[in-house]
Structures are given as C-alpha cells and as structure tokens.
Amino acid sequence: MSTSYIEQLLNTIEPEQALKEAARLVRRLFPLLDEKARLDFIVTLLGDVGTDKVSSMVHL
C-alpha cells in the first residue's frame, strides 16, 4: 500500500509537530462537515471505545 502525500509530509517532522499540524487542519475542516461526519471522524480517531463512552460525548 502506498503512503499518501499527507503521510509522507507528516513523516518528515517530529510527532509532536505533526499532531499540531493535524489539529490545525482538522479545526479548519470541522466547520465544513455535518454533525454525523464529525462524530464519525472522532469515533474513527478513538477506535472502538464502546457505546457508553461515545454516547456520553458532548456535541462537537
């Protein structure tokens, strides 16, 4: 499987800086998404945390 362009860029910087950049980009994209897309992203990011934890999340 080939590495995406974004992954290649993130691999060239320190992990802490990569997280800062990723967070900046996500903040820019979130307003463009509907609530379901935002929740799907968070669930994917956190992995399978169970329905109790997901249902207790505040609306983003």
List pLDDT tens digits, range 1-60.
567 888 888 889 999 999 999 999 999 999 999 999 999 999 999 886 655 555 666 555
Task: Measure the CA–CA gap between 4 and 58, rounded to whole angstroms.
Answer: 32
Predicted confidence at residue 47, as pLDDT, reads 86
Task: Measure the CA–CA gap between 15 and 10, rounded to whole angstroms.
Answer: 8
Predicted confidence at residue 42, as pLDDT, reads 92
